[in-house]
Amino acid sequence: MLRAARRGSPAGPRLWQLAACAFLGAALFAACGRRGDPIAPGLRLPGAPAAVSLAGPAGELTLSWSAPRDDLAGRPVIGLSGFSVLRGAWPPDQKPCDTCPEDLEPAATLDREERQARGLPQTSWVDAGARPGWTYRYRVRALDARGRPGPASAAATVTWMPPPTPRAEVIAGDGQAKVRWEAGPTVPGLTPLGTRIYGSQGQRVAEAAPGALETVVAGLENGAPAMLSVRAAVRTSGGWEVESIPALLSVTPSDTTPPLPPSDLVTFAEGAEVSLHWLPAGPEPYAEVWVLRAREGGPFGEIARLPGTVVSYVDTGVEPGQTYLYAVTARDAVGNESLPTRESRVRVPGPAVPSPRSP
């Protein structure tokens, strides 16, 4: 019947078409029912980035993540060319709809080689356009060697509310600096974490608990200018840590601590001279040593300035038969003077009295 229809009946072509469609439909149905790798052979799209998080160091909204280790087939990732950042933004009077279809737009494409050449991190991005009070949601995609994106990461959402910049001042000390600040206004939804001080290399050098209004930064070099960055730190309702835009302070510590006085001062008379001996004390080297002298009952006066390494002195300006008091002080390289040593008392012998002649 089918053969006859092909020869003379106009319905023949239709029957063949129906048969062909039925055959193709069955084949497609069978293919859809099979489990298989949907990835084209040779296509090695990277997996989704993980550990996506948000933070606000130095008042900048920073997104960070971990690069995927495997591709979609479970093989090690080869040749990532960079990452694509997707972002959604809602003004203060709006909130993202968690049940609505997500509508995130490309915010940045990070070329791995270019960022490496500029010394920028590979797996973080600063959203320089973030506005206070706005809510932002981010996802990240890894790009293969040809720039093709893999699946998006989990979302990270934050309402960007950096705390106000502290009003701070700094007072120089000896190898340190005291930093003081005023308490800023409380921002609803932010939990204070305290105040953090950073050095010129970005390292944290001091931290104060919430409510504190001053702290000391130790370990500074005397005579060397230091730049300090004072930031208020808070935690958002979503658990992200955020810092304020820093208050920048410049300070030059100076040595204001005098050295310890020399110790064990001893004096003794040798004819018409007085010899003095002492020992240095403390870890700070002496730049100079000053010898002080007084007649018994009179004021002390300086009689010699010696290099800091000298530990003895001979006083030739004494008079026979007189009693003298001696003390020694030390000075450091910037002129800080120590306390004097304990006074040492010595009597210079008088001239010899001739014995009477026998008759």
pLDDT digits over 52-107, tens only? 999 999 999 999 999 999 999 999 998 899 999 999 999 999 989 888 889 999 99
pLDDT at 185 (0 to 100) = 85
For the chain, state the CA radius of gyration: 42
Q: How far apart are CA 218 and CA 179, in angstroms?
A: 11
Q: CATH code at 247?
A: 2.60.40.10
Mean pLDDT for 19-35 is 43
Return the bridge partners of 196, or none.
207, 231
**pTM score, whole prediction:** 0.66
Q: What is the pLDDT of residue 98?
A: 85
Same domain, 271 and 227: no
* Distance (Å) of CA 287 to CA 263, 290, 315, 330: 16, 10, 21, 8
Are both 300 and 326 inside the same structural domain? yes
Burial of 24 (0-12, 13-18, 19+ CB in 10 A): exposed
Q: Is 119 left (phi over 0), alpha (psi -120 to 50) or beta?
A: left
Whether residues 141 and 215 share a domain: the answer is no
115 and 195 together in one domain: no
**pLDDT higher than threshold 50 for residue 10:** no
Q: How far apart are CA 295 and CA 324, in angstroms?
A: 5
Which band of pLDDT confidence, cut at 50, 70 and 90, is reported for residue 7? very low
Q: Answer whether residue 3 shows pLDDT above 80.
A: no
* Domain presence at residue 177: yes
pLDDT (average), residues 105-122 = 96
DSSP 188-222: TT-EEEEEEEE-TTS-EEEEE-TT--EEEEE-PPT
Across the range 104-132, mean pLDDT stands at 96
Number of domains in the chain: 3
Does residue 288 sit within a domain? yes
**pLDDT > 70: what percent of the chain?**
86
Residues 130 and 179 in one domain: no
Work out the burial of residue 46: count CB atoms within 10 Å of its CB; fewer than 13 is exposed, 13-18 middle, 19 or more buried.
buried
Do 155 and 179 belong to one domain? Answer: no
Q: What is the mean pLDDT of residues 306-310?
A: 97
Mean pLDDT lowest among 11-15, 220-224, 331-335: 11-15
Q: Are residues 197 and 98 in the same domain?
A: no
Residues 143 and 190 in one domain: no
Residue at 29 is within a domain: no
284 and 309 co-located in one domain: yes
* pLDDT over 70 at 164, yes or no: yes
In a domain, 119, yes or no: yes
**Tokens representing residue 356 in the block:** 């009477």
Q: Which of 264, 299, 288 is nearest to 337 (CA)?
A: 288
Give the domain extent around 293: 263-347
Residues in Cβ contact with 348 at an 8 Å cutoff, skipping those fewer than 6 apart: 269, 272, 274, 318, 319, 320, 321, 322, 323, 324
> DSSP letters of 174-191?
SSEEEEEEPPPPP-TT-E
The pLDDT of residue 353 is 59
Residue in this structure with the two tokens 């006074």, named with its chain if needed: 343
Average pLDDT, the chain: 88
Domain stops at, among 132, 159, 186:
159
Q: How far is CA 47 from CA 44, 65, 72, 151, 322, in A?
A: 9, 13, 5, 6, 96
**354 within some domain:** no
Count of CA atoms in the C-beta half-sphere (13 A) of 32:
6
- Same domain flag for 155 and 187: no
Pair 289, 247 in one domain: no
The confidence score (pLDDT) of residue 187 equals 84
Of 125, 159, 193, the domain-final residue: 159
Of the residues 134, 159, 184, which one is the last residue of a structural domain? 159
330's tokens = 């030390």
Query: Do residues 205 and 217 lie in contact, with contact meaning Cβ atoms separated by under 8 Å?
Result: yes
Does the residue 27 lie in any domain? no
Where would I find the H helices in 9-163? 12-33, 112-117
pLDDT of residue 37: 45
Instruction: Assess if residue 16 is contained within a domain.
Output: no
72 plus 134 within the same structural domain: yes
Nearest to 87 by CA among 160, 161, 155, 159: 155
Bridging pattern class, strands 214-218 and 50-55: unpaired
pLDDT at 43: 74
User: Is 50 exceeded by the pLDDT of residue 11?
Assistant: no
CA 260 to chain centre: 35
Over 90: is that where the pLDDT of 158 sits? yes
